[in-house]
């Protein structure tokens, strides 16, 4: 569905697609996430883990998956660290 139409109808947007194998794997866990942004971060971290970068740090993963800031990934991990306590 078109993103603009989703916004007009106040519908939740779909997650941005990544690599097919990551999308297929992560789809099994999609129901665990209430917000699409968290689900996207989950997929981005998986992309970073399987990427060929030497250093698997959040800033490097952010560069590989083409997001502006590693802060989004950091917030995702910090949130789930708090929830799991």
Domain residue limits, the chain: 3-83
pLDDT given at position 17: 81
Give the pLDDT score at 80.
Answer: 75
pLDDT of residue 79: 82
For 72-77, the CB contacts below 8 A with 24+ separation are 72/37, 72/41, 73/41, 73/44, 73/45, 76/38, 76/41, 76/42, 76/45, 77/45
Residue 69 has what pLDDT? 87
Distances from the Cα of 10 to the Cα of 3, 5, 31, 32, 50, angstroms: 10, 8, 20, 21, 34
Could you report the per-residue pLDDT of 5-61, keeping only the tens digit for each? 555 555 567 787 888 999 999 999 999 988 888 999 999 999 999 999 999 999 999
For the cut 70, the answer to whether the pLDDT of residue 75 exceeds it is yes
Helices (H), 1-85: 3-8, 20-27, 36-50, 58-64, 71-83
- Residue 8: the pLDDT is 54
How many CB atoms lie under 10 A from the CB of residue 31? 8
């Amino acid at each position: 569905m078109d993103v603009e139409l989703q916004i007009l109808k106040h519908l939740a947007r779909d997650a941005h697609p990544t690599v097919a194998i990551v999308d297929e794997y992560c789809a099994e866990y999609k129901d665990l996430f209430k917000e699409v942004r968290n689900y996207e971060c989950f997929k981005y971290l998986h992309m970073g883990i399987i990427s060929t970068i030497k250093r698997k740090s959040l800033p490097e993963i952010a560069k590989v998956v083409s997001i502006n800031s590693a802060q989004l990934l950091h917030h995702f991990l910090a949130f789930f660290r708090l929830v799991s306590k």
